[in-house]
Amino acid sequence: MRVPVVLSPVRWPRRPAAGARSRRRLTGFGLLALVGIATAPLPQAGAATAPCPAGSARPWCDPARSPDERAGLLLAAMTKQERIELLGGDELVGAIGLPGTHTGTLRGVSRLGLPTVHLTDGPAGIRSGRATALPAPVLVASSFSRSTAAAASTVLGTEAVARGNDVVLAPSLNMVRTPLGGRTFEVLGEDPYLAGQLAATQVHTLQSLGLIANVKHFAVNNQEGASTTPLGNLVAIGDLGSRFSVDARVDERTLREIYLPAFEATIKEGGALSVMCAYSRVNGVYACENRHLLTDILRDDWGFQGTVIADYGAAYSPARALKAGLNLDIWPGILLSPTTVGWSLLTGAVRQSTVDQRARETLRALFAGGVFDRPRGAAPTGIDVGAHDDRAARIAEDGMVLLRNERAALPLSPDTPGTIAVIGPEASMNKGGGGSSATAALRTTTPLGGLRARFGASRIAYSNGRDRARAARLAKGAAAAIVIVGDRASEGVDKPCLGLNCGQFDQIDRDALIEAVAEANPRTIVVLQTAGPVLTPWRERVAAILEAWYPGQAGGRAIARLIAGDAEPRGHLPLTFPASAADGPTDGDASRYPGVSTGSRIGHTATYSEGVLIGYRWYDAKQLSVAYPFGFGLSYTSWALSNLRIDAGSPATVRVTVTNTGSRTGTAAPQVYVGLPAPAPGATQAPWQLRGFDRVTLQPGASRDVAFQLTDRDLSSWSTAAGDWRIAPGCQRIAVGFSSRDLPLRGAVSRGTVGGDCG
Ligand code: BGC
């Protein structure tokens, strides 16, 4: 998290006297410059017992009762003060991630056996001290694989449990509206269907491990803010269109079709028990005070029955937030403190019944998440460091994307005679993003380390690229030159521009370095460690490009195995690589991004006037050429798709045959797109929208049939007139291929009341 320095009431957690109420607070005023001088209480060692042990006489401990009933019974046993105290957290500095701490803590009520609940960040590895640094979520999205998403969450969840946590603040589900977004590495790309499918799997996986998954940041929190100064970039504070105050103006259809479906999938398909509301505003109302989001949509439309937690410091008015549907101000419980809530009750701004309802919803989530029935209180268990490192390596392989491979530059056999030049500042580091997803890795294999181990240290000649002439000399006589470069990205601030050098502070011109090495060696292989898309002006002059994203602690092993051909590249882009920095939906229009000042109001307003056209939807609708399209990724073998069959029932079934036409075993990701009629005359519509994907591993010459189901919802658009999903009359086109720009198989189903002309 970014820690704002605030002058506010501070409540320090205290250990309760034996048998007393477990939550005591001191209130005072202090300047919270969080420098890590204090740590949260260590998890208590001792015998592992469940808060509700078998045979407990407490009525809410009866596992035969529903979570609703159990929550109601416990709530009835709580005093008014205890209910109020369930609305605010008790952890001040845990978000720093020091060993033995938790990102958030909600103290329990010992007399009732309500346990203290611990929360941890985050999407790329837990933050309760050292942990397995997983590949960034953008890499997981690139796998186009639900099982890879589950594998990442299994590592995350197992370690969260081992460190005594109950809630994991993941996955992050905001959409990549602009690739400049500082958290692009932390989210699952630019397509709501892909993100939703993978995130629902992750939620399900985490919750199967006895945890509560908290999906964030609800909603339309798609920018951190641009910095107007280099200092802002350095310390990661974006002041222009800052996430803390920006007002996203977005129409209902765009909200429903683009910015909400990933969240919706985690609730309806994944069963998420917790949601984090965002800092920013949506249509003029702060997300954590937004009744339309938190109640009308989340609870009433989607049937969410969990707890809504405010992002850190994102709760503003107690009455507005509680009435809108906020349950918990976890950090550090200032806004929803006994004092502020008590005052709101006294003045009649909020009713006791609202407080009770919010407390009850949190209790229900804890019961449904198994917090009362899972043994706890034991000393933190160990993490299987080696096994998790292996899994991190495997996940990293799954999501790295081969963008270019000319003259069979890759794979590069370790038997190739000669020296291999490894060049670039990021060769000796595993890039990761800054902020609440930064992890303290348990071990690290850098790209250079991985290549040395695989190809033999004596054959690798290394230059960090600072001296470009030296790097070119090194490359000149080498069998191949591998240039490893990256970008810089962090929560808190957006990237100032899309080039590799943007926002870097080391004065190394990475684009010029690549050009110089490519000039010296025709077998130049570029490995990118980036948060998302970057400009690739040199792409036609290099032999190969492997996008490794922020690859996690075992990234170097994965890079070496893919380069050597020990593993097959199988990742696909979850976002578009534009050909030019001016082409994207928000480029060159400050009213869209980062937003403009509206005079009387605080903050900036970002108007989502591009509507549903984000990512490939925009590039397709505007017929713009791109560097590498959404869904794209090469492998070392070749593929064909044939035999499209469509059964237009409900759900419709789409079948295709996938064939490995090359000479190596490989993995393909066939993708299904729909081209839908506009929901109203004159309404904007994207040419194609992803609605199905799968992964298929086949030996050379082998074929397999793959089937995809398209529900009515998959064929629907949001009808503003009806306020609901509708299949618009006309022709629902279907296309199957290997990227949004490679859709060789075309067909249609025809639904709706009139038309249906698919001719
Ligand atoms: C981030 C959240 C994170 C929290 C705690 C906030 O700044 O937006 O994603 O969970 O900090 O670290």
Tell me, using a 6 A CB cutoff, whether residue 311 lines ligand 1: yes
Q: What is the average pLDDT across 63-80?
A: 98
Q: Give the pLDDT score at 431.
A: 98
The verdict on the CB of residue 2 being under 6 Å from ligand 1 is: yes
Q: How confident is the model at residue 22 (pLDDT cuts 50, 70, 90)?
A: very low
The pair of three-digit structure tokens given for residue 527, joined into one six-digit string: 């490995």
Q: 127 CA to middle of ligand 1, Å? A: 11
Verify whether ligand 1 is closer than 6 Å to residue 356 (CB atom). Answer: no
Residue 83 has pLDDT above 50, yes or no: yes
Q: Is the per-residue pLDDT at 385 higher than 70? A: yes
Q: Which residue did the predictor score with more confidence, 40 or 685?
A: 685
Q: Is 103 in the pocket of ligand 1 (CB under 6 A)?
A: yes
Residue nearest to atom 7 of ligand 1 (CA): 1
Burial level of 444, CB count in 10 A (0-12/13-18/19+)? middle
Q: What local confidence, expressed as pLDDT, does residue 380 receive?
A: 63
169 CA closest ligand 1 atom index: 10
- pLDDT classification of 77: cutoffs 50, 70, 90: very high
Write down the pLDDT at residue 45: 43
Given ligand 1 and candidates 3, 93, 121, 128, which is best to mutate, with the most ligand atoms within 8 Å of its CB? 121
Q: pLDDT per residue over 676-723, tens digit each?
A: 999 999 999 999 999 999 999 999 999 999 999 999 999 999 999 999
Catalytic positions are 311
406 CA to middle of ligand 1, Å?
Answer: 42
Q: Cα 76 vs. chain centroid, distance in angstroms?
A: 38
Ligand 1 within 6 A of CB of 168: no
Out of 2, 126, 169, 329, mutate this one to test ligand 1's pocket (max ligand atoms within 8 Å of CB): namely 169
Name the average pLDDT for the chain.
92
Over residues 285-336, the pLDDT tens digits come to 999 999 999 999 999 999 999 999 999 999 999 999 999 999 999 998 889 9
- Residue bearing the bigger pLDDT, 524 or 35: 524
Give the Å distance between the CA of 1 and the centre of ligand 1.
4
**Does the beta carbon of 169 lie inside 6 Å of ligand 1?**
yes
CA distance 547 to 138: 11
Decide whether any atom of ligand 1 lies within 6 Å of the 95 Cβ.
Answer: yes
Dihedral through CA 531, CA 533, CA 534, CA 535, nearest 10?
A: 180
Q: How far is the CA of 224 from the centre of ligand 1 (A)?
A: 12
Least confident of 402-406, 514-518, 598-602: 598-602
Q: What atom in ligand 1 is closest to the CA of residue 216?
A: 9
Residue 16 near residue 90, CB atoms below 8 Å: no
For residue 378, name the pLDDT band (cuts at 50, 70, 90): low
pLDDT of residue 28: 28
Residue of 127, 436, 490 to test ligand 1 pocket, by largest number of atoms within 8 Å of CB: 436
Report the run of H or E that residue 426 belongs to, with start and end: none
- Picking from 272, 320, 321, the residue whose alpha carbon sits closest to that of residue 298 is 272
Q: Are 283 and 252 in contact (CB under 8 A)?
A: no
Read off the pLDDT of residues 555-595 as tens digits, 9 standing for 90 and up.
999 999 999 999 999 999 999 999 999 999 999 999 999 99
Model-level pTM? 0.94
Contact 194, 188 (CB under 8 A): yes
Q: Between the CA of residue 474 and those of 119, 391, 427, 511, 619, what are the distances in Å?
A: 49, 34, 15, 17, 40
The pLDDT value recorded for residue 39 is 32
Ligand 1: centre distance to CA 437 (Å): 8
Q: Whose CA is nearest to atom 6 of ligand 1?
A: 1
Give residue 287 CA to ligand 1 midpoint distance, Å: 15
436 pocket-lining for ligand 1 (C-beta < 6 Å): yes
pLDDT above 60: residue 489: yes
Report the percent of the chain where pLDDT is more than 70.
92
216 lines ligand 1 (CB under 6 A): yes
Q: Check pocket membership of 122 for ligand 1, CB cut-off 6 A.
A: yes
Residue 3: pLDDT above 60?
Answer: no
C-alpha pair distances (Å), 326 with each of 120, 218, 306, 393, 452:
19, 11, 11, 39, 52
Q: How far is the CA of 185 from the centre of ligand 1 (A)?
A: 15
Best substitution site from 102, 330, 491 to test ligand 1's pocket, by max atoms within 8 Å of Cβ?
Answer: 491
CA of 524 to the centre of ligand 1 (A): 39
Please give the number of the atom of ligand 1 that sits closest to the Cα of 217.
Answer: 9
When pLDDT is cut at 50, 70 and 90, the band that residue 25 belongs to is very low
The residue whose CA has the least distance to atom 11 of ligand 1 is: 1
The predicted structure's pLDDT at residue 750: 81
For residue 696 and ligand 1, the question of a CB distance below 6 A is answered with: no
> Token pair of 106, please?
């909600």
Q: Is 121 in the pocket of ligand 1 (CB under 6 A)?
A: yes
Minimum-distance ligand 1 atom for the alpha carbon of 95:
12
Tokens of 532: 């998302």
Residues in the chain: 759
Position with higher pLDDT, 100 vs 420: 420
pLDDT greater than 70 at residue 752: no
Identify the weakest region by mean pLDDT among 30-39, 408-417, 530-539, 547-556.
30-39
Instruction: Give the residues across from 460 on adjacent strands.
Output: 420
89 Cα–ligand 1 center, Å: 14
Nearest-CA residue for ligand 1 atom 12 is: 1
Tell me if residue 84 falls in helix, strand or coil.
helix
Average pLDDT over residues 513-523: 98
Task: Identify whether the C-beta of residue 549 lies closer than 8 Å to the C-beta of residue 400.
Answer: yes
Query: So what's the pLDDT on residue 94?
Result: 92
E strand or H helix that includes residue 745:
strand 745-751
